[in-house]
Amino acid sequence: MTPARRAALTALRATLDRGHDLQAALEAQRLHLSPRDARLATELTYGTVRLRGRINVLLSLILPRFYALSHLTQRLLELAAYERHFLRVPPHATYAWLHDAAKRLLGPRLAALTHAALHRLEALAPCLHDEAAFAAAGGTPAQWFSLPPWIWNLWVEEVGLEGARQMAAMSLDPAPVGVRVRPSPRAADVRQELAPIACATGRYGFALPGWEKRFAVAENQGDLCRLSLASQEAVAALDPASWPEPVWDACAGHGGKATLLADLGKAVWASDLHAGRMAGLRAQAHRLGLFLPMFRADARRPPLQRRPGSILLDVPCTGLGVLAHRPDIRWKRSPQDMVALAQTQRALLDAAASLVPAKGVIAYLTCTLTRMENEGQIEAFLQRHPQFYPRTQGTTPRELGEVFFFALLERKA
């Protein structure tokens, strides 16, 4: 296998078989690759994860005991099938590396099996690109969109068949690169350079079709930072200029929204429960030259000596609105996760309600598309806490490639 294919296989196994985060698993492999191999490894890994549901349906027709094969055998076949039918790679190259890798890793018998399976998949190739042909072969809409049935059925129930199809189709497209232009003397020049090539424009930045090396100069100078445009627009929709200070970003992650608020001139505290995210938060703030009070804490039991004026809750969620950016989520989440995460969200909201003063606000964000975690969560909160009222609520446009839910809850005077 070439270095790119080896990296892709390793990342797939870490993600699908051991539950690691896809982006982190791939980054660990990309460190050792040339830029060209890194791009190919990324395409192979993300593409295979996105479309493995569709690919597996056809592989299981060819190999009735496909799901009984070892995880390694499945990953090799999925990777080879994606490369063969979705990338412009000469067929003989794909067949050659699959045979050699399978022979070395699985033995001669399974090497022959995988080679024969990939060859037989040629006859079903139209089914990989045409939904009608796929359905004629016995595939379901959920499988065509490479979704577990529970996600598809949930979306159909909540937004109807056409809405479910729109969201499912969005999840198969690579997410655009979100960039935020920071306030600086060079901001106007940066905006002028990015605007002509942007897929979409927001209040604070752009969605770009891809990342180019020339943008790294602006990023290194601190004029530009990466943050999905849908995420930026969710914050903008909540009118952050009106939030009483200080603003506590209680689930700050790597700091994308905390640093956005700081650049808007807000006094911000930032915290997260996870040490790895805190390290990323500190690195982000340092790179951007921002001073933020940062601390590790569970927002359900905050160790605060004084009250914040506002609290931003970008809560843990099922992530079904960002499947384009994080396609591995579809294979990791379950209905039980949705229930458990909704309980965590409820606890975070209740804790925030006990801290926010009169006329203070709770800004609630998710990157998912379930009523239980979004509208239902807000309705239940307002019933438990009638001292709050909703100032605004909604979702970002699907045209941005990702969807965020947002709600601003203000405590009555």
With beta carbons less than 8 A apart as the criterion, state whether 294 and 271 touch: yes
H-assigned helices in 31-148: 35-62, 71-86, 91-105, 108-121, 125-129, 131-136, 141-144
Residue of 117, 22, 25 lying closest to 74 (CA atoms): 117
- The backbone torsions φ and ψ at residue 301, rounded to the nearest 5 degrees and listed phi first, read -135, 65
With beta carbons less than 8 A apart as the criterion, state whether 266 and 245 touch: yes
pLDDT one-digit tens code per residue, 105-120: 999 999 999 999 999 9
Whether residues 41 and 125 fall in one domain:
yes
With beta carbons less than 8 A apart as the criterion, state whether 281 and 252 touch: yes
Whether residues 280 and 367 fall in one domain:
yes
Whether residues 192 and 255 fall in one domain:
no
How many Å apart are CA 271 and CA 268, to the nearest integer?
A: 10
Q: DSSP assignment of 62-84, as one string?
A: H-TTGGGS-HHHHHHHHHHHHHH
With beta carbons less than 8 A apart as the criterion, state whether 110 and 77 touch: no
In sequence order, the 6+-apart residues with CB closer than 8 A to the CB of 399 are 200
Whether residues 359 and 313 fall in one domain:
yes
Number of domains into which the chain is organized: 4
Whether residues 194 and 322 fall in one domain:
no
H-assigned helices in 229-374: 229-237, 256-263, 275-287, 329-332, 335-353
Stretches in the chain below the pLDDT threshold 50: none
Whether residues 210 and 110 fall in one domain:
no
Whether residues 245 and 320 fall in one domain:
yes
With beta carbons less than 8 A apart as the criterion, state whether 234 and 396 touch: yes
pLDDT of residue 305: 84
pLDDT of residue 216: 87
> 0.75 cut: is pTM over it?
yes
Full domain range(s) for residue 105: 3-139
Whether residues 36 and 119 fall in one domain:
yes
With beta carbons less than 8 A apart as the criterion, state whether 137 and 127 touch: yes
pLDDT of residue 213: 83
How many Å apart are CA 168 and CA 162, to the nearest integer?
A: 10
State the CB neighbour count (10 A cutoff) for residue 321: 30
Whether residues 247 and 343 fall in one domain:
yes
Residue 208 in 3-state DSSP?
strand
Task: Output the domain CATH number for residue 288.
Answer: 3.40.50.150
Order of strands across the sheet that contains 224-226: 200-201, 205-208, 177-181, 224-226
Measure CA 2 to chain center.
28
Residue 264 in 3-state DSSP?
coil
- The backbone torsions φ and ψ at residue 295, rounded to the nearest 5 degrees and listed phi first, read -155, 150
Whether residues 258 and 404 fall in one domain:
yes
Strand 200-201 relative to strand 247-249: parallel, antiparallel, unpaired? unpaired
Amino acid identity of 127?
C
pLDDT of residue 32: 87
Whether residues 179 and 298 fall in one domain:
no
pLDDT of residue 49: 97
Whether residues 213 and 317 fall in one domain:
no
